[in-house]
Structure 1
Amino acid sequence: MDMKKGSEKSGTSETAANEPIQDLREWLTRVDEMGELVRVKEPVDRDEEMSAVGYLLAKQTPSPAVLFEKAAGFEKSPIGARLLWNILGPSIKRVAMTLEEPVDTPTVELIRRAKDKLKRRIPPKEVAAKDAPVFEHTLTGNQIDLDQLPIPRHWPLDGGRYAGTADAVITRDPDSGYLNIGTYRMMQQGKKEVGLYLSPGKDARLHITRAWQNGNDIHVAAAWGIDPLFMMVGSQTFPKNVSEYEFAGGIKGQAIPVVRGTTTDLLLPANAELVIEGVIRLNSVKPEGPFGEFPGYYGRPEAGCPLVEVTAVHHRSNPILTNALMADYPSCEQSGFFSVMRSAKIWDDLDKLGIPGIHGVYAHPAAAGGFGMTVISLEQRYAGHAAQVLALAAQCPGGAYYTKLIIAVDEDIDPTDTDQVIWAMASRCNPIDDIDILRNTWSTWLDPTQNPPENRPYGSKALINACKEHRHLPVFSKRTALSKGVYDKVASRWTKLGLPGQIPTVRAFEEENKVLYHEVGGFEPGKQPGESD
């Protein structure tokens, strides 16, 4: 395969169903075919105007991605960069397509499939420099001038212009040598410098700290125009000894093509639009921020962050820079995709821990960019099952960071349906018995509820058991539910009856309730589950 053939005109509806996406341009072609891409040909200001358009478009249904063909004032730039905003937004269709799944896949099923794909890892495949589209143009030394790129300002009170807010930042563990891909904000600090903000506990921060402890500089690279799959994978917490390249390959079903850097020892995504390479010198920091962040608030005040000295810039002709606006829902870029990926990762963690009976996991996108709340639907199989799930989901690698509310519901509740979850909380949770608090948990400097700011990055978590009380399952009041036979009868006549739209799906039926009680053990009131006669 000629790896330089990816283009915005490549890809068709037929290929979208059968072949993995190779690059951002092919991804855009498929989004255009879905009718979820807006192209703006008139020049638009990179400072606040582009982000404003993205913010407002995200609130539409459907919510389109927007590609700005021209940045005002950069019409004569030799690089000719374009900018993509609201990349995935709240569109579950674009998220599904990026995960190489049918665009009409229901949310819980999409999460289940993503969870299963995370169990499959495919190492990346190194290609020659001549076969890497990102090496079409290379700038080094005095050729490097980041002012030639329309790096945008997102919010009025941001401390500067931010590149690669939808990025893939690549570092190497100084001890094990594995490559990590993360998504971190990068503020332009000069013609050849960018700042790198890293929350406590994040992999790149651990790598930098370790290198400095050893008295060494550390190489870093960042792709500022990427296949959105890298953004989805890079946002998650994986084992510290396995590269995200392998998880991305597992999701795509084929090895990710990578190319060796020219000024670093790192492997770069070969099909990226634009990649910078650089070095962070020993103890080199510079004030950075604030920045409008994922909770929908500005982050902490200006503080020192590692400073990247850019040593090379590689890019395709007319590269596309990917930009992720952090805002309130649904305009927070990470909300939709992060919800699916974080849910899948938490579910995968519970699988690995051997926890049975999980019917669904959902990190709600409206909860601080998908970070703030996790709902787990489970079939209770033993005493303490719900409490165990709550504690593990709160502290497993995929769910520990920031999350404040962890809610357990029974299997008859769709965790993605907020109305059902609230109903379960109101009818099955007794606050004095069913809410526990975890203190001094892993959080972030970006949490606006922890004040004064020096109290951060420690947080707390509420564990809310909204399941029917296990010890009283036999006598717990039965919910009102349709019979399956009546539902099927109505469904078969829905159109004939002149009823609008499609018949809604139903998770619980009267007959299933009977089966459920039988499966729990067939016990009688007054006996505990599993208690023999």
Structure 2
Amino acid sequence: MTRGQVNFGHALARFRSSGLTWDKLGIALASGEFRERRYPSHFPPGAAQRHARHGRCRQHAEQRPLQAKSSAPAPAAGWPFASMRDYIAALDKAGLVVRIPRIDQDEFEAAALFYRMRDEHGMRGAPTLIFAEVRIDGKWRKGPLLVNESGHLDAECMAFGLAPVSEWPLTKVPYNSYRKARGHVEKLLADNGGEYPLIAPTEIAATDAHCKEVILRGDDIDLTHFAFIKCNPGDAGRYINTANVFTRHPTYGVNVGTYRCHLRGPREIALNTEPGQTGYRHLMAARDRGEKIAKVSMALTCDPYVWMVAGSKMAYGSKGFADELSIAGGLAGRSLQIVRSETNDFMVPAHAEMIIEGEVPLDDMRPEGPYGEMVGYQGRRKEEVFWVRVTAVTHRREPWLMNNFTGAQAGSLMAASHARSFLRLKKAQPTVIDYFDDTRAVGFTCISIRKDQPGRGMEVAQHVAKANFFSKIVVVVDEDIDVTNQEQILAAMGARWQPFGSTEVYESQPALPLDPSTEKLGRGSKIAIDATRKWPEENGPSVFPPMNRTLLEKGAPEAFARVDRQWGELVRNWRPAKR
């Protein structure tokens, strides 16, 4: 396929009304089926004619009855998933995977394609991308390379064997699938005294471990041969940015964390553990004890349960630190299989795609960065970070590697990590209805409440601002507002919030070190906002007027159902004229 054959914006727009599933789109793009002004036979009747009229929808041509879906979404087959490959197979079966045969990352096509997917479908509605081959430093590197494996919210349900929630008749990002998965984990927590259930892992023989299919040592190791990419022209180089890094402390045990890791050579990796993170504390404690070397193992492309635990703070329980692989087993509902590393004693996921083992010279810190970070801005260059001298690499044959376009795509699945915070918040503040730490805008948290007395909104906002490290902007709304819907939240702030008397600003609080707006690293200000309807006791009106939509829903309860039946297809498929 030559450049210019496919207009990606046009292809994505036509795809929405084509009847194709995500898994077919990559094939269609590769074959040129979505070339400019070409209309395959599987487009709905009238699609070409509508485009010929420059996108103008004629009502008489579009009034086709809305067809009900033949069945509700089915639970994911193969749950619980022993490997990332099994999980991806379930996403693929559900039509949530797009395969791209070749992509040129020297021209940053993979990065631009994902940004375009997010532009069109949002952070939580875009598919998983699988690149079979990637051009890196002038050479085509064999993949597959996975991107956005946790992005689409239906995956939140599928990871736990739950059927995703259909948003029919609308085609919108399925935040109710996220809520369903979060509710599932809340029940696990409630049944276990508020803590994540633990199922200890099971050691298996190396001969039975997929991650031991190929074993490399010494000069046989060259990590630059694998499809690790430079994500952004502003990055320092190629990064391994989804590794689950195992470190150990003699008192607190093993930690599994996810850090940005700059691939600086065949056997050298910069390990950027941020100050305050557990991995950093482990390494600094080893140096303070006079040790010269700390050993680490890095597990790449693990099953979704290890991945969701490693990128969170689930290990911090009320009774101290819990074993993270046991938490992953508890979430999966069965024991995870583990195997011993080749050059150290770390027990690692047996069915990971790759294990990188190495030594950290504790008295030799080196520069690292810059790198595009999770808040969507470039993270600074650091003059002194730890680094890893690679001693062994084991991997599956033709390993599947994961990349995260940090700051653009979602991290790991979030329902499990949010569930405990939500459960604790409801216990502390019983009027809370819903809660969301919005990953689309890092630092923004919204909570809805069933307001029962004056001042309750501010009380809840202050509680969250003080308790949640990541919450920089906390907004509390009434229960009729969807906390995942940014448009509704802004509308509530515009119509229900009075800045004077309903706002609390905290001058200096612990802050995310990656926040580019802070004057002092790790310290910043916060704001708590009560955007609930004001009661007379809060200097609000004696009667707060109802919303127009509420009056419509109450006064004409069948109106939306009638419109969905008669014009649902028009609503979903209409696009403005191409300019």
Q: Normalized against structure 2, the TM-score is what?
A: 0.74
Distance 1:502 1:420, change over 3 A: farther
Match of 1:245 among 325, 350, 360: 325
1:437 paired residue number: 505
1:218 paired residue number: 294
- In the TM superposition, residue 174 of structure 1 has moved relative to its aligned partner by 3.0
1:119-518 alignment to 2 at 5 Å? 119-128=195-204, 129-163=206-240, 165-177=241-253, 179-216=254-291, 217-238=293-314, 239=316, 241-327=321-407, 331-334=408-411, 337-338=413-414, 340=415, 343-351=418-426, 354-367=428-441, 371-381=442-452, 384-396=455-467, 399-401=468-470, 403-451=471-519, 455-469=520-534, 471=537, 475-480=542-547, 481-482=550-551, 488-490=557-559, 493-494=562-563, 498-500=566-568
Gaps of 5+ in 2: 1-72, 167-175, 190-194, 573-579
Indicate the SS of the match to 2:321. coil
- In the TM superposition, residue 53 of structure 1 has moved relative to its aligned partner by 2.9
Indicate the SS of the match to 2:501. helix
Cα-to-partner distance string for 1:109-134 (whole Å, 9 max, x where unaligned): 34333444454322332222222211
Amino acid at match of 1:363: D
Indicate the SS of the match to 1:42. strand
- In the TM superposition, residue 253 of structure 1 has moved relative to its aligned partner by 1.8
Is 2:184 the counterpart of 1:113?
yes
User: Do the aligned residues in 1 keep the contact of 2:338 with 2:347 (CA within 8 Å)?
Assistant: yes
Match of 2:149 among 87, 110, 122: 87
Count of aligned positions = 472
User: Do the aligned residues in 1 keep the contact of 2:128 with 2:149 (CA within 8 Å)?
Assistant: yes
Whole-angstrom distance in 2 between the partners of 1:277 and 1:139: 10
Indicate the SS of the match to 2:429. coil
Gaps of 5+ in 1: 1-12, 505-533
Cα-to-partner distance string for 1:6-26 (whole Å, 9 max, x where unaligned): xxxxxxx97824631221111
- In the TM superposition, residue 155 of structure 1 has moved relative to its aligned partner by 0.8
Whole-angstrom distance in 2 between the partners of 1:413 and 1:76: 51
Indicate the SS of the match to 1:41. strand
2:134 paired residue number: 71
Indicate the SS of the match to 1:439. strand
User: Do the aligned residues in 1 keep the contact of 2:76 with 2:162 (CA within 8 Å)?
Assistant: no
Cα-to-partner distance string for 1:223-272 (whole Å, 9 max, x where unaligned): 22223443333222231611332332232222222222222222211111
Amino acid at match of 2:469: A
User: Do the aligned residues in 1 keep the contact of 2:75 with 2:158 (CA within 8 Å)?
Assistant: no
- In the TM superposition, residue 52 of structure 1 has moved relative to its aligned partner by 2.9
- In the TM superposition, residue 358 of structure 1 has moved relative to its aligned partner by 1.9
| Percent identity of paired positions between Structure 1 and Structure 2 | 28
Cα-to-partner distance string for 1:449-480 (whole Å, 9 max, x where unaligned): 124xxx21211211111123464599451424
Whole-angstrom distance in 2 between the partners of 1:50 and 1:59: 14
Indicate the SS of the match to 1:380. coil
Distance 1:258 1:381, change over 3 A: farther
Q: Normalized against structure 1, the TM-score is what?
A: 0.80
Which sits farther off after the overlay, 270-279 or 378-387? 378-387
Which sits farther off after the overlay, 49-58 or 127-136? 49-58
- In the TM superposition, residue 54 of structure 1 has moved relative to its aligned partner by 2.8
Whole-angstrom distance in 1 between the partners of 2:404 and 2:212: 24
Whole-angstrom distance in 2 between the partners of 1:54 and 1:343: 25
1:56 paired residue number: 116
- In the TM superposition, residue 414 of structure 1 has moved relative to its aligned partner by 1.6
User: Do the aligned residues in 1 keep the contact of 2:223 with 2:266 (CA within 8 Å)?
Assistant: yes
Amino acid at match of 1:94: A
Indicate the SS of the match to 2:371. coil
User: Do the aligned residues in 1 keep the contact of 2:136 with 2:229 (CA within 8 Å)?
Assistant: no
